[in-house]
Structure 1
Amino acid sequence: MTLKRTLQFATALIIMALLWVGLDGQEALRLLARADPVWLIAAMAALTVQTVLSAMRWRVTARPLGQSIPLGRAVGEYYLAQVVNQSLPGGVLGDAGRALRARHQAGLRRAGAAVAIERMAGQVALFLILAGGVLAVTLTPGGLALPDWVLGLILTLLAGGMAAALAIWQARRLPGRTGQSARDLHGTLCVTLLTRGALPRQLVLNLAITGANLLAFAFCARATGTVLDVVSVAVLVPLILLTMILPITVSGWGLREGAAAGLFPLAGASAQAGLAASLAFGLMFLASTLPGLLVLLAERRSRPVPAPIQAEP
C-alpha cells in the first residue's frame, strides 16, 4: 500500500473517530441498530436500479465513440468497477480498469473518454438537481432555511462548474496542442452528449440515475428515523453526496458522514440522525456492490489454467 493510500485510510478513520466522540456516536449507533429493514431494502433496490441504469448510460456514451458493449457485460463491468472503487482510495481505479478492459474496439483513448464523460454526466445531473432545489428554496418562502455559508458553498460549486464549461469553450480558440486538445474534448462531448440522438437519452438516464441515488439516501434516512421532504432531498443530499468525489478518504467515508451531520439540522433533524443515515447509506451502497465479487469470481474461474511445465528428461 502506498503512502497516499495509507494516509487516505488514516484520514477516514480519524474523521470517523472525531465524529463518534463529538456527536455522541452511541446515539447514532442506536438509530442505526433500530433501522427499518423495509426502507433499507428500498434503498438497496434504488442503488441496484442506479447501477443498471449507469451501465446503460455507459453504453449510450460509448456507442458514438465506436464501442458496442452488450448490456450484460456493461452491467457486470460496472459492478466490478464499483467493488474496486469502494475497496480502494481515490474512487476512480475501478473506472480506470473498466476503460482498460473495454479498449479493444476503439482504443484506450476513446474507451477512457467514454468512461470519463459518463461519470462526468452524472455529476452534472447532480448539480442540475441541486440548482433546481436552490431555486425552489429561493422562490418558496417559509420552507428550508439555508444559512449564508451553505448558499455560498452552493453558489461556489455552481460557479465553478460553469467556469469549467466556459474554459473548455474558450480554449478551443487557443493555438497549438492546448487548443487542439480543447477542440477534441469539445467534439467528443458534443457527439456523446449533445447530438439530437444522444441528448434525450442522456437527460433521461442521468436524471433517473441521480434520482435513484438521492432516493437511496432518503430511504436510509427514513430507515433511521428521519423523513426528508423533497426540497431537502434536492438541496442537502447532493451536497452530502458530492463529498464522496473528494480523494481525501476511501470512497468518501468520514467526509460524507461529517457533511450529513452538519446539514441534517437544517432539515429539523439531529446531527446524530445525519450520521446514522449516512452510515446506513454507506453500508447499503457497499452491500449493493457485492455482485461485483461474483463477476470477479466468475472471471477467475473462466480463465484457462496454464499447462504444467514438463521437466526435460
Structure 2
Amino acid sequence: MAPQGLGRRALVVAAQALVTIGLLALLWQVADGADALAVLLSVNPWWIAAALAALTLHTVLAAERWRLTAGALGLPLARGHALREYYLAQLVNSTVPGGVVGDAGRAVRSREQAGLAVAAQAVVVERFAGQVALLATMALAVTITTLVPGGLEWPLWMLGLAAALTLGSLALVGVLLAARWLPGRVGPRVAELSRTAAVALVGRRSLPPQLALSAGTTACILLAFWFCTIAVGLSLPFGAIVTLVPLILLTMLVPITISGWGLREGAAAALLPLAGATASASLAASVVFGLVGLVAVLPGLLGVWARPRGGAERSTP
C-alpha cells in the first residue's frame, strides 16, 4: 500500500479509537460507571461459562454455514479448515478496526480452488444470511410481543425504529435487485451477486440447511447475551432479549468505533432499561458480552499455526 494510503488508514483508525474512547467515557458518566464496575466485579462465573459455550457453538454453526454456502458456489471446503478460518476471521474482526478485515482475509486464503471472486461472494453471502436472520428475528419478536395479549409494551419510538430497520432492509434488497439493470460494470456484477445469493441461500437443496444454521447462529448469539445479563444480576424476559438484543448488536455494523465497542454499550444502556434493567447493569452486561466474545475467538490464534501453507483444503466426506 502506498504511503498516502497508509497515512489515510492510520487517520481512520485513530478517529475510530477516539470515538470509541469518547463514547465509553460518556457512558461512564451517564450510566453510572462506578456502579457498572461494581457489577462487573461480582459477575456469576457459571453464566459466563454458559455464554462462552453459546458463542463457541455460534462459531461452529457459522463456519458450517460458510462451508455450505461456498460448496453451493463450487468452492469445496473441509470442515476443519472452515472452522479454523472462521475463528481466525473473528479474531481479526474483534481486534482490528473495521470489522470486516478478517472476512476479507478468509476470502483471500480460500481463493485457490475457485478464484477470488467466488471466494469473496461466498463470504459476503454468508455474512448477509446472518444479518438477515438477526433482522428477521427482531421483526418477528417485536410483532409477537406487541400483539400477543399480556405481551411487552414498547414505546412508539421503539416500534418505529424496528419498523424503519425492517422496511429499510427490504428497500435495500429492492434497490439491489433493481441495480441489475444499471449500465456499465455495476449492473452485471450486481446481477451475478444476486444469482449467487439465490443459488447459495434459497436453492432447493440449500434452503433447509441454511434456515437451520441461521436459526442456530441467531439463537446462540442471543442466548449468549442473555446469559451475560443473568451473570450481572439482571432478570429480563426472553421476549425482551430477542427484541432488543438484535438492535444492540446491529449497531456494531456502524464502522465508527473499534469492533463496535461504545456503540454496543450505548445501545444496551438505552434499550435494556425498556425491559426494566438499570442503565449501569445494562452497560455492565454489554461489556461482559464483549469480553466473553474476545475470549471466545481466541482459538483463532491456534489457526495461525495450524493452518496449512498450501491454501484451502479440499472438502472431505
TM-score (norm 2): 0.92
Match of 1:107 among 106, 115, 132: 115
Identical-pair percentage? 52
- CA distance in structure 2 between the aligned counterparts of 1:141 and 1:25, rounded to whole angstroms: 37
Q: Which has the larger radius of gyration?
A: 1
Deviation of 1:176 after TM superposition, in Å, equals 4.5
Q: 1:249 aligned to 2:257? A: yes
Superposed CA deviations along residues 161-188 of structure 1, whole A, max 9, x for unmatched, are 1011112223334454333223212211
* Range moving further from structure 2, 43-52 or 64-73: 64-73
Q: 1:118 aligned to 2:148? A: no
Contact 2:248 2:264 in 1 (8 A): yes
Q: 1:240 aligned to 2:248? A: yes
Contact 2:146 2:152 in 1 (8 A): no
2:271 is aligned with what amino acid? Answer: L
- CA distance in structure 1 between the aligned counterparts of 2:182 and 2:23, rounded to whole angstroms: 43
RMSD, aligned CA: 1.5
In structure 2, the partner of 1:277 is 285
In structure 2, the partner of 1:155 is 163
Gaps in structure 1 of 5+ consecutive residues: 305-313
Deviation of 1:142 after TM superposition, in Å, equals 4.0
* Range moving further from structure 2, 166-175 or 286-295: 166-175
- CA distance in structure 1 between the aligned counterparts of 2:156 and 2:105, rounded to whole angstroms: 41
In structure 2, the partner of 1:311 is none
- CA distance in structure 2 between the aligned counterparts of 1:66 and 1:268, rounded to whole angstroms: 49
SS in structure 1 at match of 2:151: coil
- CA distance in structure 2 between the aligned counterparts of 1:174 and 1:93, rounded to whole angstroms: 29
In structure 2, the partner of 1:22 is 30
In structure 1, the partner of 2:41 is 33
In structure 1, the partner of 2:193 is 185
- CA distance in structure 2 between the aligned counterparts of 1:295 and 1:39, rounded to whole angstroms: 27
Deviation of 1:132 after TM superposition, in Å, equals 0.7
- CA distance in structure 1 between the aligned counterparts of 2:252 and 2:231, rounded to whole angstroms: 21
Q: 1:129 aligned to 2:111? A: no
In structure 2, the partner of 1:72 is 80
- CA distance in structure 2 between the aligned counterparts of 1:294 and 1:174, rounded to whole angstroms: 45
Task: Give the paired residue count.
Answer: 302
Q: 1:231 aligned to 2:239? A: yes
- CA distance in structure 2 between the aligned counterparts of 1:247 and 1:303, rounded to whole angstroms: 32
SS in structure 1 at match of 2:185: helix
Superposed CA deviations along residues 95-118 of structure 1, whole A, max 9, x for unmatched, are 000000000011001100000110
- CA distance in structure 2 between the aligned counterparts of 1:293 and 1:94, rounded to whole angstroms: 13
In structure 1, the partner of 2:218 is 210
Query: Is the alpha carbon distance of 1:10 and 1:276 closer, same or farther for their aligned partners in structure 2, counting shifts above 3 Å?
Result: same
- CA distance in structure 1 between the aligned counterparts of 2:30 and 2:183, rounded to whole angstroms: 54
Deviation of 1:11 after TM superposition, in Å, equals 0.8
Superposed CA deviations along residues 283-305 of structure 1, whole A, max 9, x for unmatched, are 00000011111222445xx779x
2:16 is aligned with what amino acid? Answer: Q
1:182 is aligned with what amino acid? Answer: V
